[in-house]
Every structure is written in C-alpha cells, then in structure tokens.
A and B are shown apart, each in its own frame.
Chain A
C-alpha cells in the first residue's frame, strides 16, 4: 500500500493526472536567481467555467505542502481537496459563478517542474540541479499559465500561508491583472523564527543517509525518516497549545501507565509520527527543501528598497486580509504590517482578525467567521464588477 503510494506520487511528479501546460525553449521562465528554467511545465486544475468576457477567473494559490487538487479527490492520497469546504457549487468560492484555477507551484512535486521532475538534458531527475526557486518565480510561472488560458485580468487571487505570499507578490508584480486579492494567514516576509523552523526541517532531511546529497531518486532511495521529522517539527508550528491541549493533553497512547521507554507514550507523539509517515508517502523531500527556501527568501519590502508601501503604491486592487488570533507562525502583527502598508499606499483594504484557538491551520479548517468574511467580500466585489452567477 505504502509502496504503491510512493510510486504513484513519483508518477504524478512527471506525468500528472491534472491538466498540464508545457512551455518550450521559446518561453523560458526567468528566475530571480538569475538563471532561466526551460523547458518547464505547470500542472493545474480548473473548476467552473470561464464567462464570455473572461472576467470571472479566480486563482487559488496553495500552501507549502499543498497542491492543485483544491476541490477534487487527491490522486495519491484519495482524500478530498484541501479547500473543498470553501470551493464548490454554492460555496464561498462559488464554482457556479467563478472559474477557479489552482496550479501546482514550480518547485513542488505534483506535476509542475520541480526537483523530482526529469531534467531533459540528462534524462535524470533534477534533484539539487534545479535552480533555487522564489515566490516571485512561482508567480511568474502562474502568470504564464493565466496568459495561456487567455485571461487578461483575474477577478481574484486567493491563498493562505505560502499561498498568501503568492497573493501579495501577484498584487505587487501585476497590479493591473488582479482585481481583488485575499491574502490569508500570511505576511510580507518570512520572519527569522520561521526561517529557523524551516532550517530544522531541512537539516533533518539532509541528515538522512538515504538523502544521498539530493540524488536519492536516481538510487531508488527515499529519505523518508528525515522528511518525516521535518514534517513533525513543522506540524507543531501549524497548531496552537490550546488546540493541542484540547485534542491530546498529556493523554497516554494505548496504555494505562507510563512505560519509561521511548515508544510513542503520549497521544501527541503518536499523532505527530502519523503526520510524518503519511506525509512522506505523498511528498518529495527535495521539493520540501526548495519550497521552504522559497518562503525563507520572501521579503516583499526588500524587493522595494525596504519600503513595503512602495510595493503597493497606486494599486487599484481591492484587498481583504485575514489573520487568526492563535496563529503564531504568521501572527496578526505580520498581517497588520501589510494592512498598514496598504493604508499608507492609499489602497482599498479590508482586514479581519478571526478569533480562534486552532492556530495557523485554521485557514484550512471549517471557520465560519472566516468563510463569512471572504464570502461577503467576494460577493460584493463580484456585484461591483458585474459578475453574476
């Protein structure tokens, strides 16, 4: 079972079950690292249909370990889409009204060019030979996809966490192509603390003897242990102490008393191990390195001489910024920095801080206030833009 999942995941990296757009040598992707990626491909899913004046497209940007399967069964795990509660007919992001696009980011491993893809020059997986990717590079690749679909301007770009970074980058890079932007549980930069956590994860991957300097796919190995540890550490940052306490407390796992050993004695340990193990089946270890790096490099103010306001000067895009009270990975203060910059830039901005104790993960969960805010924002913006269902 597990073996076949790993095999399936590897198939998805090169020949995804999603739609794919391939860009040949005539359309290289210019990377922030100064190199170009060519040829390259982007795998994507769409839902709903594009209206006649092509004004109802919404681009959804996924988070670090997310993918394009936002509202359909995942081809590897068989689980429902990661934002299925939000995206669908009659839902907050109403596919009866909007044409929803979700693309796998480059650097990832579900069909867009990433370290698990075959390097056409060598016929072997890129591994660490793939240039380092940034959030801006991901957004440029998405823009090429949007061009390919014949869409001039997106009604909205929406996403949480790393997806939220892409939303901000979209608004800063292509202000005329984004009517509304909804950055959720995110910030305009990755903080030192966030970088620190990512470094722990990367070191765990690279310390795994099966990692083989990044060339594990060639040798048929998989640094699953290191990647699982990376995932376990990261997973803690997605939760909050109150939520962990409510769910697990100090409860013991399948036992009445302490055994004074290093088995998964507590339920929380068992839970984290499970999170780690299920993750390594579906995700490529090198992609984890590349994507965490992309987040670490993100600093929108730095791109604009240290002034975040300049990233948005003169923008016509309408923003709806959302944060969650118990999110300590991207605390509300990070969102406020964005909001203040937008205010100073004279942008049209709404901002809601959702009261919840579920931590960073809240953006993926059923949070009625969050859904109501985004739904209300999109509805009124659609009304203004003359988009009917």
Chain B
C-alpha cells in the first residue's frame, strides 16, 4: 500500500471504466477497497496481487482472492489475455521497472487501467522550486528517505511512455484535490499542472 487510503478518490473513477461482470486483476490491491467496490458495484470476477502480508490478510478476510506477491516479479506468471481489465492503482510509482510492468499489464489484460499521483502537479513543482525540498503532500505523504515510491512521473511523462511502448490511450482523466475530474477539453499541460492524480484506460 503506497498511498493513504483516505485519499483514494480515484477508486470510483476506475470503477466507472469497468464493464459489469468483467474479469479483473487488481495489481497492488492493498486492503482490497477497490476489489470490494468492483465486486459489489460491478459484480466483477476479481483477483488481486499485493505485496504486504497485512494487506493480503485483510483481503482474504474480506473474501477476496488475493495473492501475496510482487508486481515486478510475479506478473510474468499470469497468462496472456487472462483478464478483461488489469488495474494498477497508485502502484506504478512503487515498482522497480514501470515500463516492464506496464508491458505486462497490456499483455495480461485486454485493457489496462493505471492511476498514479501526478508529480507534475503545481504543489509538487512549487515545493521543489521555492522550498528546495522533496515534496510531502496529502497524496504523497512520505519523506524522500522512507518512501516506497521510487519512480515518480508526471502525466506528460506517462503519456510519453505509453507512446513508446505502443499503448493507445482510450480515455484519461485528471483529478483535482477533491477527486473531481478536470474538464476534458483542457490541454495536457493544464491537466499536468492541476491534476493531483491521473487515471488512464489503455489498450494495445
């Protein structure tokens, strides 16, 4: 679990992208909040992958099928096109090889849904620019020395990576501090500046 759960405004946005009854793999499922939401709201056939024993235990006790494992290491064992959707919510920044992980998501799922905290948000930029210190915000509550997050990116960085690996962005949303979607008509730079979090629906 790499981000405060109280801040998980992206969960409903992700749920809205998922077709009812679909088969979903949630990578980095934490305490199972998203899977539970999806099973309740969308009647999905859900599976999870989570690195922490505490998280897995909570999931298992909630009746969710969650496997203890590491996204960097274990995704290779999942079959091609085994799922309709593979979700990576607030976990990309905590992986060692985001590019490989993203590749795997697009192999395992028909669609991949990725959400991440936007390192291009103005608060982050201002913190570095004016305070000269690594930002600690509501979405990124860790100090640089004890953070599980090792590969931050901005919305623009992510879009560039998608292009590089040949992933098509089917839809995307930037969320502001209240979890509200920022107007679709806005240009990337605007999202990148004001979006605290981003949610992408990808396909290859």
Residues of A near any B CB (own CB < 8 A): 318, 320, 336, 339-340, 343-344, 346, 348-355, 369, 372-373, 375-377, 379-381, 383-384
Smallest distance from the beta carbon of A65 to chain B beta carbons, Å? Answer: 29
- A355 near B53 (CB under 8 angstroms)? yes
- A320 near B79 (CB under 8 angstroms)? no
B56 — nearest CB in chain A belongs to which residue?
A352
Which of B60, B62, B67 neighbours the largest number of chain A CB atoms within 10 Å of its CB?
B60
- B77 near A352 (CB under 8 angstroms)? no
Which of A318, A343, A344, A379 has a CB less than 8 Å from the CB of B67? A343
Top 10 A-B pairs, shortest CB-CB distance: A376-B61, A380-B63, A340-B77, A351-B67, A348-B65, A350-B60, A344-B79, A377-B60, A376-B60, A351-B68
Q: Is chain B's binding surface mostly helix, strand, loop or mixed?
A: mixed
Which of A344, A354, A380 has a CB less than 8 Å from the CB of B78? A344
- B53 near A372 (CB under 8 angstroms)? no
Q: In B41-96, which residues have CB < 8 Å from any A CB?
A: 45, 47, 53, 56-57, 59-69, 74, 77-79, 82
Residues of B near any A CB (own CB < 8 A): 45, 47, 53, 56-57, 59-69, 74, 77-79, 82
Q: How far is the CA of A354 from the CA of B82 in the complex (A)?
A: 28
CB contact under 8 A between A380 and B61, given known A343-B78, A349-B67, A353-B68: yes
Give me 10 other A-B pairs in contact (C-beta within 8 A), A340-B74, A344-B77, A373-B61 excluded.
Answer: A336-B74, A339-B67, A343-B77, A350-B59, A351-B66, A351-B67, A353-B68, A373-B60, A376-B61, A381-B63
Smallest distance from the beta carbon of B56 to chain A beta carbons, Å? Answer: 5
Which of B59, B62, B65, B78 has a CB less than 8 Å from the CB of A318? B65
A-B contact count (CB 8 A): 74
Q: List 13 A-B contacts (CB under 8 A).
A: A350-B64, A350-B65, A350-B67, A353-B53, A372-B61, A376-B57, A376-B61, A377-B60, A377-B61, A377-B63, A380-B60, A380-B63, A383-B63
CB contact under 8 A between A369 and B67, given known A348-B47, A376-B61: no
CB-CB < 8 A to A336: which residues of B? 69, 74
Q: How far is the CA of A329 from the CA of B67 in the complex (A)?
A: 22
Smallest distance from the beta carbon of A307 to chain B beta carbons, Å? Answer: 12
Smallest distance from the beta carbon of B63 to chain A beta carbons, Å? Answer: 3
CB-CB < 8 A to B69: which residues of A? 336, 339, 351
- B53 near A349 (CB under 8 angstroms)? no
Which of A318, A352, A376, A384 has a CB less than 8 Å from the CB of B53? A352
Q: How far is the CA of A193 from the CA of B190 in the complex (A)?
A: 61
- A376 near B65 (CB under 8 angstroms)? no
Q: How far is the CA of A320 from the CA of B59 in the complex (A)?
A: 12
CB-CB < 8 A to A351: which residues of B? 56, 66-69
- A352 near B68 (CB under 8 angstroms)? yes
